[in-house]
Structure 1
């Protein structure tokens, strides 16, 4: 089994995906774009300190020991979170600077990625894998 600090239980990841998806969808439906600040700030805090408050909250809801759940690689999740935080930032900038189209594009991208992840396909994982393959091919071609 991997180091407990290098993985995160799958139910916490799923909870975070739902949190992001619902925050963005509610934001778009209501027009209260500031709601997207919640996943943006939680994600940013998680990236900067390693302590995402959404994951901390969800961790209290686990009924079994953390190690008994299917685990997700923390490095991959941080990569995905970086993309989500960046897109949420661009979305908020778009909405609050009068560029609504930009706001919609980036918020819909985040919602779509979260929704697709909940269905079982990780867009960020695919992007990271392709990037790693590109780096490998570039290193071995020399």
Structure 2
């Protein structure tokens, strides 16, 4: 499996922040459903199946050559956390439509993605802590 160019990772993170922000501002949990579907497909089929990455790829074409990359294993771990939190968000909306708990779980995804864009990857930190514990 090939390493994933960081511009693709950043585009996906920015997309997550945007989807969650729009969902909260306009009170549209359907945007969380759409984000969940996008992330599940990316987790299942790989980063190239992620709709956010597909839409951003033509804009990033010039930045991909020589760009730093991320490990697919690490990206898959992070994506698993995202899908888990978004699943909890959707379950919360199903149990309590319009409830704030659904937005809380989705907000955790957005905050983690924003932190990663700014330079601190929460999922990466957890991944390396788990790897260290297994030694």
| Fold similarity call, TM over 0.5 | yes
1:93 aligns to 2:91 (yes or no):
yes
Moved more, 40-49 or 64-73: 64-73
* Cα distance between partner residues in 2 of 1:23 and 1:9: 22
Show the counterpart of 2:114. 115
* Cα distance between partner residues in 2 of 1:72 and 1:17: 13
* Cα distance between partner residues in 1 of 2:19 and 2:63: 28
Q: Is the Cα contact below 8 Å between 1:90 and 1:102 reproduced in 2?
A: no
Unaligned runs of 5+ in 1: 137-142
Aligned-pair CA distance for 1:90: 0.7
1:18 aligns to 2:38 (yes or no):
no
Moved more, 62-71 or 75-84: 62-71
Structure with higher Rg: it is: 1
Moved more, 96-105 or 79-88: 96-105
1:58-69 residue pairs with structure 2 within 5 A? 58-64=56-62, 66-69=64-67
Show the counterpart of 1:36. 32
Moved more, 93-102 or 125-134: 93-102
Aligned length: 132
Unaligned runs of 5+ in 2: none
Q: Is the Cα contact below 8 Å between 1:6 and 1:75 reproduced in 2?
A: no
Show the counterpart of 1:102. 101
Show the counterpart of 1:139. none
Aligned-pair CA distance for 1:75: 1.1
Aligned-pair CA distance for 1:61: 2.0
4+ residue runs over 4 A deviation: none
* Cα distance between partner residues in 2 of 1:20 and 1:126: 19
Aligned-pair CA distance for 1:65: 7.1
Show the counterpart of 2:127. 128
Moved more, 117-126 or 92-101: 92-101
